[in-house]
Structure 1
């Protein structure tokens, strides 16, 4: 993929048997990206290097795949005999969720769900059962904390057990979020660093959007995951109700804050409620705090500072690689 590829460079690449798969003019993000197919004679890595050599000023990278499992490790545990949850206050705030589909559920109460029309399943923006499990749970946590309108972008495809997405789909979802003036965007995907994703996240930040992302569930020794570890993104780790760190949570200097994400009660797609564990179930707690702050006319900088100031210090005194600035929510 290439961001802001000059036309003269593109023409030379086409002469060298590169083929344009798709052009994306992302007006809300203020950028353009092009998906290229490499000539058969070149490996993918060699093709990327050739494009970089032809257009050194452009942003060039692979169209990486991103998963959900790194952000949501364990399976939900259904709670027998539990209620559906209390409906939220409809006089709340707007917030965005880039995740799986979100299906109708009583725990969403009066929250208005606005689904991305395109989705990632051939135009089907709704789903049920396991395909909507993760997104529905995250949305219900936001609704329970006062979200009045939840913009949902279903970016995942593949089987319910191994959902995946790619940078080009994430780009479209971010463009849609910005086009709807969503101030805070909750993201649960996780994967490698990608120059195109860097550019898109930076563009969203320059336009006053706040991105909150799950810190990852690959364990204390795991490398950083993205987009959580990107500059400007608020990375959230998970603790249990006693303030103990989730044992599979990633660690690192990119961790901003911690929130409860172990055995969290949330909506289960298809009915009922269950207990969910993972950093992606702590993330909506922080997204809700920031979205409420933004709804009260707080700037991104002010809201981020208030979040840090409100955190209850855990672990070593001051900022640390395990809890960030501490527990919020």
Structure 2
């Protein structure tokens, strides 16, 4: 990394930020090369000099979601019985800031940490707070329990406000991954979407190599292409279906889809009135909750988890795995 930084500085580039990520066994630097050199030329230059680093743009990621009490019944859990986990499971969520008081009112055990820069304006709290309730709410007014009550959530607050949108830079996302792995989370939920990126792929590969199971939303662009990071081979990719088991109209499709889960009109409890949310974000949160239930029974690896869920899945669409529903609708196996 030091050689790469020296090379960039040597042709006039500026090193903006450096971080060690001991949880991943990596380091990351952000650099501004302006119009001095194109990205392909920089990669080739570093490779030619034997400098073994992964280089890509500091890409932008956005929330992959923009509620209904059918969810638990649809996936094979009792409608109202909480069915708490037999043993605590640590779940990481990379998203925006959270309403800690609201989560604690829903009996969610949560640790939150911001990985934003000091001058970043934190993003909206709604998306991350809703995901946390879908995954782990134990009891609340006006809604049903989450999928995995008793899980301990580690919320990495990485979305910042940019004008009218919430955005996550690559460097903050990788920093969030590093923190979560250092906290020994067993599972990481990525309800976000953006472009393919080599640095993020490298970081996720490192997280997976350290035993973290990665779950991501397929994205809501209505395209014949699964969004990144869900398209990465180290990730379990999740699409959304409605109460009639139809694919969410805005969900992306592609060969990387692994599983489908409820994600249309998902009931999200207060503190005030309950609201409804739709998107592959929430389907990914449902699958994360089900995986936590599996991990509470047995310490399984990602391929073992996927095999269990795909074997139990209800086949939708064309027979076998397909690009709309993957292996089909996830099923929970009861309390």
Q: Please, what TM-score do these two structures have when normalized by structure 1? A: 0.84
Q: From 223, 227, 230, give the equivalent of 2:229.
A: 227
Unaligned runs of 5+ in 1: 78-84
**What's the CA shift for 1:190?**
0.6
Name which of 8, 27, 49 aligns with 1:13. Answer: 8
Q: 1:89 to 1:203 in 2, by over 3 A?
A: same
In structure 2, how many angstroms separate the alpha carbons of the residues matched to 1:160 and 1:272?
A: 28
Which of 81, 92, 95 matches 2:91? 95
Q: Conserved in 2, the CA contact under 8 Å of 1:65 and 1:191?
A: yes
Counterpart CA distance in 2 for 1:44 and 1:121 is: 25
2:175 aligns with 172
Q: Are the structure 2 counterparts of residues 142 and 241 from structure 1 closer, same or farther at C-alpha, using a change threshold of 3 Å?
A: same
State the distance in 2 between where 1:206 and 1:153 align: 20
Q: How does 1:14-53 map to 2 (within 5 A)?
A: 14-38=9-33, 41-42=36-37, 47=42, 50-51=45-46, 53=48
User: SS at the partner of 2:180?
Assistant: helix
Corresponding position of 1:155: 158
2:91 alignment partner, SS class: strand
Partner of 2:321: 319
Q: Which residue of 2 is the match for residue 63 of structure 1? A: 58
Alignment of structure 1 residues 199-218 onto 2, 5 Å: 199-218=202-221
Q: Find the counterpart in structure 2 of residue 109 from structure 1.
A: 106
**Residues 295, 248 of structure 1: alpha-carbon distance in 2 compared, 3 angstrom cutoff:** same
Unpaired segments ≥5 residues, structure 2: 69-79, 137-145
Aligned length: 307
Q: Is the 8 A contact 2:120 2:161 kept in 1?
A: no
**Equivalent residues of 1:63, 1:167 under 8 A apart:** yes
Alignment CA distance shift 1:94-1:57 (3 Å): closer
Shift in Å, 1:55: 4.9
Aligned counterparts of 2:83 and 2:166: Cα–Cα separation in 1: 29
SS at match of 1:60: coil
TM superposition shift of 1:122? 3.0
Q: CA deviation at 1:34?
A: 1.6
| C-alpha distance in structure 1 between counterparts of 2:251 and 2:104, whole Å | 27
> Among 264, 267, 271, which residue is 2:266 paired with?
264
1:291 Cα shift?
Answer: 1.6
Q: Is the 2:191–2:281 contact (alpha carbons within 8 Å) kept by the matching residues of 1? A: yes
